A and B are shown apart, each in its own frame.
Chain A
């Protein structure tokens, strides 16, 4: 191997060792947070679920991310009448958050982000000022009104 190439790789190797990232741990933390989100949604919707006003299904899908690789994660499908809303994990590696789940309805989309404290937040507005709100029964209602048909 040429001297210059060897030196370059050596230097890069040391730079990486300075702050190693445990990508598997990041993925697992994200997956656990997604499952916690789905439990929270089930808890919030416990009444309507019991009354069979709504139903929930989980459907597995594959996500691929740099460094993490390909892994399996579930979409959560909320069925209300003849309409559905999909809670769709977009990945652990997002800028400014520790993970993201998009909420996709027939009228629009909303975004949930995983904050540094491990709590899910609803991105209420992006412009002109970024506004987020912790996920709660009230914000879930707001999200569903935003993404579902009138």
Chain B
């Protein structure tokens, strides 16, 4: 059974909480830098921002862009982490031939895949999430909400060169964390 090595020493898995903690730290740093920058505007002191002689509006706009980018990269990381968690659980169930409904459904579907696909099975459409939906371990609308996060991740992670999905601006990192946590708690051991 061609199951990928999930315990490589170079792997750097991140939990959702680690990612959100990083986000909180970066938000704090941005707030601090904004305050220092706005104070420098009054006092005339030097401050390191990559803007040439900005007005207050330009400074505010700059920090809004930084925050938006931070949120997007956090969403990317959160969804990637959630996918990794679900994939690792998937391989655990398949490899160990667990007997519960979801594990059996996973294995039945896994056996239909080609060798290459068994190493990296699809995740969203016609993939692991579809099997989860068919087994019914989670309300469909909750899977649908998580799929919206996948659309945002896909757009951010692949160059943003097509129309921006509504989810990108609609979902804050904490929303993505909550939606991902619901799926992870329902389907992982």
Q: State the A residues within 8 Å of B (CB).
A: 19, 21, 65-67, 90-91, 93-98, 100, 111, 113, 123, 126, 130
Contact, CB under 8 Å: A100 / B46: no
Residue B163 is within 8 A (CB to CB) of chain A in the complex = no
Residue B52 is within 8 A (CB to CB) of chain A in the complex = yes
In the complex, chain B residues whose CB is within 8 Å of the CB of A100: 53, 55
Closest CB pairs A-B (n = 9):
A126-B52, A94-B53, A97-B53, A91-B55, A113-B53, A96-B53, A95-B54, A93-B41, A100-B53
Given the complex of chains A and B, what is the CA–CA distance between A97 and B52 in angstroms? 10
Q: State the B residues within 8 Å of A (CB).
A: 37, 40-44, 46-47, 49, 51-56, 59
Chain B nearest CB: distance from A34 CB in Å? 15
In the complex, chain B residues whose CB is within 8 Å of the CB of A65: 55-56
Chain B nearest CB: distance from A18 CB in Å? 11
In the complex, chain B residues whose CB is within 8 Å of the CB of A126: 52
User: Which residue among B41, B46, B47, B53 has the maximum number of chain A CB atoms within 10 Å of its CB?
Assistant: B53
In the complex, chain A residues whose CB is within 8 Å of the CB of B44: 98
Chain A nearest CB: distance from B49 CB in Å? 7
Given the complex of chains A and B, what is the CA–CA distance between A66 and B39 in angstroms? 12
Given the complex of chains A and B, what is the CA–CA distance between A90 and B59 in angstroms? 13
Given the complex of chains A and B, what is the CA–CA distance between A120 and B53 in angstroms? 13
Query: Known contacts A100-B53, A123-B52; is A95 also within 8 Å of B59 by CB?
Result: yes
